[in-house]
């Protein structure tokens, strides 16, 4: 990055979102797609720092909920997939198989992990023995999974992408369903309350549930182009996997029983995409304070002969803030102008900028600039800690308020109404059902409009009494949400 043109965004977000997104990913050093294999990207330094912060939030929260960390192999034996019929059928088209090593054909091919249910439960059958072992909650983090996707886009869809998953076994179905609720609360606490990504949790239609699940509950967020992105899901797996893998426990009555299983997957990549897309502007990223690699950056404003005193004050301010727990960068590069550095750091999305020049040194003050709205405020150094705390809260509050501008929900009563609203966020419409009997209606809808039935919202569910399905005209059982999806 040696010129302003190289770091600047050349299109407006509201006019060409797709190109804007690609430029932010590249120019904010989030990822590089030039690795040479479709769907396999290089996670760059700034992006990976942000991703680590996202991981930390989830790791902390699931451990509070009683989960313990584990790490499983990337290789999944073919025999594991064969044990749960629906699961293998659901994932078969996406699996990468390893069949040779060196010059030899492998006796048993293995898959690169597309997800880890079969791996986890093969071991749970060995680890769980008694009702005293339950509930049994484990998770793995900072891993990759591999799926043969036809269309790929950084942080939205890839053939190798970052993953986080929990797998829990319970004594009763009631306990398992309670964990599903806990999973939803965890996703809401982090994604909505700390990262300011609005979303709706849905019970997915039976034809769109996770392969092998009894029920799937998934969170969708609207992106600036009107499409929705699934940013997380939790699954009631019932006893299908426990029966396939013989995951049993001896209960208090001394009888062997199958456990009830749940799994939860916050979409680390998709959450990253939503942060970029929902919060960013025509200058680049804007980061919530909870995941910003630095809370603020100090930019010294140099005048000839005054460089030393300005640098000394910048280091003094950095020390004051660092001692109070703030993460602070100081950009003392004298080869770049202050204006260039302003643009460069705005691209990276740091919540606050602190400007210090000879005037500020003389007056013992600092200028604080908020990234979200570029508001400037001159404050005495003696009040700096309190002011930084206040400005970070304001920055986050404004981000949260602005995030809802894409969260559009419209209503439709007929298929003609629906066609007029395609691509404008969520569309609420009457539908005959969400079980297998309505799958043909869903297929017809998708073929003609590219809309998918996202499901029934778990909050604010509406009754469809007296309404007719927009596709088949039969009495509607539900008001479902429709949307184009990534």
Sort strands 160-170 and 260-266 into parallel, antiparallel or unpaired.
antiparallel
Q: Which of 42, 165, 150 is nearest to 113 (CA)?
A: 165
Sort strands 426-431 and 409-411 into parallel, antiparallel or unpaired.
parallel
Q: What is the pLDDT of residue 6?
A: 60
Question: Which stretches of the chain drop beneath a pLDDT of 70?
Answer: 1-7
Q: Decide if 143 contacts 240 (C-beta within 8 A).
A: no
Q: Decide if 410 contacts 421 (C-beta within 8 A).
A: yes
Written as six digits, the tokens of 479 are 């008001």
Q: What is the pLDDT of residue 88?
A: 78
How many whole angstroms separate alpha carbon 169 and alpha carbon 120? 11
Q: What is the pLDDT of residue 250?
A: 98
Ordered domains of the chain (ranges, CATH): 4-279 (3.30.930.10), 296-404 (3.40.50.800), 409-483 (3.30.110.30)
Q: What is the pLDDT of residue 3?
A: 43
Q: What is the pLDDT of residue 1?
A: 39
Q: What is the pLDDT of residue 7?
A: 65
Q: What is the pLDDT of residue 24?
A: 98
**DSSP-H helix ranges across 65-213:** 78-81, 85-91, 117-127, 173-187
Question: Maximum distance among all alpha carbons in the chain?
Answer: 84
Q: What is the pLDDT of residue 36?
A: 95
Neighbours of 463 (CB within 10 A): 11
Radius of gyration for the chain, computed over Cα atoms and rounded to the nearest angstrom: 25
How many whole angstroms separate alpha carbon 440 and alpha carbon 412? 20
Burial of 390 per CB tally in 10 Å (0-12, 13-18, 19+)? middle
With residues binned 3-state (H G I as helix, E B as strand, rest as coil), the percentages for the chain, rounded to 5, are 40, 30, 35
Q: Which helix (H) or strand (E) holds 262?
A: strand 260-266
Q: What is the pLDDT of residue 463?
A: 87
Q: Which of 252, 273, 263 is nearest to 152 (CA)?
A: 273
CA atoms within 13 A on the CB side of 89: 7
Model confidence, pTM: 0.96
How many whole angstroms separate alpha carbon 204 and alpha carbon 157? 20
Q: What is the pLDDT of residue 89?
A: 85
């Amino acid at each position: 990055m040696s010129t302003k043109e190289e770091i600047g965004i050349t299109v407006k977000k509201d006019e060409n979102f797709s190109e804007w997104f690609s430029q932010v990913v590249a120019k904010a050093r989030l990822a590089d797609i030039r690795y040479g294999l479709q769907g396999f990207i290089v996670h760059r330094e700034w992006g990976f720092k942000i991703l680590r912060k996202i991981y930390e939030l989830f790791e902390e929260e699931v451990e509070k909920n009683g989960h313990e960390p584990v790490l499983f192999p990337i290789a999944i034996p073919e025999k594991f997939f064969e044990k749960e019929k629906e699961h293998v059928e659901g994932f078969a088209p996406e699996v990468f198989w390893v069949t040779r090593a060196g010059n030899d054909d492998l006796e048993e091919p293995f898959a690169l992990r597309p997800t880890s249910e079969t791996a986890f439960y093969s071991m749970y059958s060995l680890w769980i023995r008694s009702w005293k072992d339950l509930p049994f909650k484990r998770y793995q983090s900072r891993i990759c999974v591999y799926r043969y996707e036809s269309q790929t886009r950084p942080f939205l869809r890839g053939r190798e992408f970052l993953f986080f998953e929990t797998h829990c076994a319970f004594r009763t179905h009631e306990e398992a369903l309670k964990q599903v609720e806990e999973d939803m609360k965890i996703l809401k606490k982090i994604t909505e309350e700390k990262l300011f990504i609005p979303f709706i949790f849905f019970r997915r239609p039976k034809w769109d549930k996770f392969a092998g699940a009894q029920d799937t509950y998934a969170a969708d967020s609207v992106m600036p182009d009107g499409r929705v992105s699934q940013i997380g899901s939790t699954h009631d797996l019932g006893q299908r996997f426990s029966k396939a893998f013989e995951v049993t426990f001896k209960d208090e009555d001394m009888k062997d029983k199958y456990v009830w299983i749940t799994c939860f997957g916050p979409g680390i990549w998709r959450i990253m995409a939503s942060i970029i897309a929902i919060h960013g502007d025509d200058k680049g990223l804007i980061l919530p304070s909870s995941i910003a690699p630095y809370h603020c950056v100090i930019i010294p404003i140099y005048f000839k002969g005054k460089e030393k005193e300005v640098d000394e004050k910048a280091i003094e301010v950095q020390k004051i803030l660092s001692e109070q727990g703030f993460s602070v960068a100081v950009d003392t590069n004298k080869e770049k102008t202050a204006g260039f550095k302003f643009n460069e750091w705005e691209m990276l999305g740091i919540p606050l900028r602190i400007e210090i020049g000879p005037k500020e040194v003389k007056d013992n003050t600092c200028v604080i600039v908020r990234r979200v709205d570029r508001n400037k405020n001159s404050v005495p150094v003696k009040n700096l800690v309190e002011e930084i705390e206040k400005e970070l809260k304001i920055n986050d509050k404004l981000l949260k308020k602005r995030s809802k501008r894409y969260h559009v929900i419209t209503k439709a009563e007929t298929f003609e109404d629906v066609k007029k609203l395609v691509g404008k966020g969520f569309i609420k419409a009457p539908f005959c059902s969400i079980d297998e009997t309505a799958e043909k209606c869903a297929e017809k809808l998708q073929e003609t409009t590219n809309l998918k039935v996202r499901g029934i919202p778990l909050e604010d569910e509406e009754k469809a009494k007296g309404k007719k399905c927009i596709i088949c005209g039969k009495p509607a059982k539900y008001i479902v949400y429709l949307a184009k999806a990534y």
